[in-house]
Amino acid sequence: MTNTGSESSQFDIVKHYNDLVETDSSISSPVAAVGSLVKMIEKQNATTMLEFMMIVRTACDKLKKATNNSISLSAGCDVFLQQMSRLSNAQSVDECRRALIRAGSDFVQGAGKCRDNVAEFGSPFVRDDQTILVHSYSRVIMGLLRRAVKQNKRFRVYITESRPDQSGLQAAEELNRLGVPCEVILDAAVGYIIEKVDLILVGAEGVVESGGLINKIGTYQLAIIAKAAKKPFYALAESFKFVRLYPLSQYDLPTFRSDLLSFKDKADAKIDWQAELSRSNPMLDYTPPDLITLMFTDLGVMTPSGVSDELIKFYLD
């Protein structure tokens, strides 16, 4: 069976994943991961169940290792693996493969619908004459605001600049095109502006088992400020971003590296602080559930504690 092994290794799953993400800017990484895995099992021809499962598992590991934002990607891989173990009592490998390909393709096609559902459940929370604070760029938030605009609601949006990649500027551009009055604010100006804000919307890289949130750096401090100012803090996430993690602190995330902000010995060299800044800073942070008012998901509006319920229902089935 060395033959099949080499054949599957010819298909570069990481490359396929990267191509998917690059060509389609609206695809989110868990969906791209499932899409790549489907492509991968189409290409290989394992003859035993064990071999088949092994190949899928190695492919998942490879994907997780190869990309830097492994959190939401691993959510996609987990959903796929769970589906595989559900189908593992199939008659033959071929039957299992066919069923898995069908389920996977359905999942990829249905993913766009998820975002619409989030928008549907969340849009009643946006009302006329509100001021909304948005952190960073998130496709699902854009979907919700677009729907609110379509419902002829008039509101204003403050967007955080969201260093270091300044993704807030992209969000501002898009909202401007929609005709929504918006301002980009410095990440450091959140405390200054919070009094004028009615509600805060953030997206999610991943939603963890505690009901907490993993998202673009700055979300945690935003949530703390929102709590202090008693403003509602809503998180938006599609259900395929629910991940099986239970971080207890910022440093439990899989993206944690020991060289992040770690007081390296820089005594002898002349330091380029600007370059050092982006190199040694984290890109994601963890927001604990007690700072989140509600989550808007495609399964409905839920409290953070509802998330673990859904996860248990899915993974213990």
**Distance in Å, CB of 121 to another protein, minimum:** 7
By the rule CB under 8 A, 155 interacts with another protein = no
Where helices occur in 128-196 by DSSP H, the ranges are 139-150, 167-178, 190-193
CA distance 295 to 305: 10
Binder among 17, 239, 253, 284 for another protein (CB under 8 A)? 239
CA distance 218 to 187: 7
Per-residue binding letters, 254-293, with another protein (x by CB under 8 A): ---------------------------------------x
Q: Is 203 left (phi over 0), alpha (psi -120 to 50) or beta?
A: beta
Instruction: Indicate the residue among 217 and 294 with the shorter CB distance to another protein.
Output: 294
By the rule CB under 8 A, 88 interacts with another protein = no
By the rule CB under 8 A, 102 interacts with another protein = yes
By the rule CB under 8 A, 138 interacts with another protein = no
| Residue 116 CB coordination number (10 Å) | 14
CB 236 within 8 A of CB 135: no
For another protein (CB under 8 A), the number of binding residues is: 40
Among the residue ranges 12-20, 83-91, 187-195, 247-255, the one whose residues contact another protein (CB under 8 A) = 83-91
Give the DSSP H/E element, type plus range, for residue 2.
Answer: helix 2-10
CB 37 within 8 A of CB 78: no
By the rule CB under 8 A, 52 interacts with another protein = no
Give the DSSP H/E element, type plus range, for residue 107.
Answer: helix 93-122
By the rule CB under 8 A, 92 interacts with another protein = no
Residues in contact with another protein by CB under 8 A are 34, 79-80, 83, 86-87, 99, 102-104, 106-107, 110, 120-121, 123-125, 127, 151-152, 239-240, 242, 293-294, 298-303, 305-306, 309-311, 313-314, 317
